[in-house]
């Protein structure tokens, strides 16, 4: 843990895609430093199990199922946070499609249905969530928004990469627009991590290739990204906005 235990005491966070993997890990990370966390996911069964694991450890979380592509459900998710904890200070846009995407189909041959589905979840979903939380953050006088992009945004990664690079652009535009309200908007672009979704999406034999691409190590874990999350959600990141932090062992290096 890269931050003081109570640094987010009194803050309320919403984490989407929190039914496992990054979302559950991010929820735990924020709750362990004092935040009250609204855990949300499309899959209610997985979400309830994840929230129960955090609650069993004494962490202050609630679970509310929501489809991030449905505006009404997104607003209900935000209302749940306001009703339970009094407001919203932090949004982590983590929900997304990856393992489900047919990576073996060239983009030039991808069906319009798949194109629309991926962009709706990975790009429109974060857009709707940001729109829903901004009024509540304005009431609080400030806010933090963190979008989960990917190292795949900076290389040929099919429609997944297109959606995640679009999220980088959304991050920059929203950061510019919301700065006057003291709402920062940043993105994290992890490299390959050992989550269930990432392992399902990884082609056979790619582990050794990843180790060659990243100077430090080719595979990480969600916990390796906690430092970036805490930087962007705590007072340490007060002067950071519109940025995408690559956390990937050096896989993507940008000048």
Catalytic residue among 22, 160, 192, 251: 160
Q: Locate 174 and state its tokens.
A: 């929203």
Contact 91, 146 (CB under 8 A): yes
How many residues belong to the chain?
A: 255
Q: Read off the DSSP letter of residue 220.
A: B
What is the longest distance spanned by two Cα atoms in the chain? 50
Whether 160 is a known active-site residue: answer yes
Q: At what angle do helices 44-56 and 21-32 cross, to 10 degrees?
A: 30
Picking from 111, 120, 136, 146, the residue whose alpha carbon sits closest to that of residue 228 is: 146
Query: Any residues with CB less than 8 A from the CB of 179 and at least 6 apart, and which?
Result: 241
Which residues are catalytic, by number? 160
């Amino acid at each position: 843990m890269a931050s003081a235990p109570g640094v987010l005491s009194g803050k309320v966070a919403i984490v989407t895609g929190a039914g496992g993997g990054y979302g559950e890990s991010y929820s735990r990370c924020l709750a362990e430093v004092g935040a009250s966390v609204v855990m949300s996911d499309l899959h209610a069964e997985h979400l309830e199990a994840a929230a129960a694991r955090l609650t069993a450890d004494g962490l202050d979380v609630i679970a509310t199922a929501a489809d991030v592509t449905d505006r009404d459900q997104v607003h209900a998710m935000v209302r749940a946070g306001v009703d339970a904890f009094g407001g919203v200070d932090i949004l982590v846009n983590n929900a997304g499609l990856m393992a489900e995407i047919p990576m073996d189909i060239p983009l030039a041959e991808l069906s319009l249905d798949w194109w629309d589905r991926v962009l709706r979840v990975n790009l429109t979903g974060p857009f709707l969530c940001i729109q829903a939380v901004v009024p509540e953050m304005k009431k609080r006088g400030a806010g933090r928004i963190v979008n989960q992009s990917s190292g795949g945004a900076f290389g040929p990664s099919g429609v997944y990469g297109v959606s995640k690079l679009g999220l980088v652009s959304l991050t920059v535009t929203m950061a510019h627009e919301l700065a006057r309200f003291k709402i920062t908007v940043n993105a994290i672009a992890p490299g390959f991590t050992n989550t269930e979704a990432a392992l399902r999406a990884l082609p056979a034999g790619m582990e050794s290739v990843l180790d060659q691409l990243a100077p430090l190590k080719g595979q990480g874990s969600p916990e390796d990204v906690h430092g970036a999350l805490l930087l962007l959600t705590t007072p340490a990141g007060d002067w950071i906005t519109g940025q995408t932090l690559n956390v990937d062992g050096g896989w993507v290096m940008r000048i």
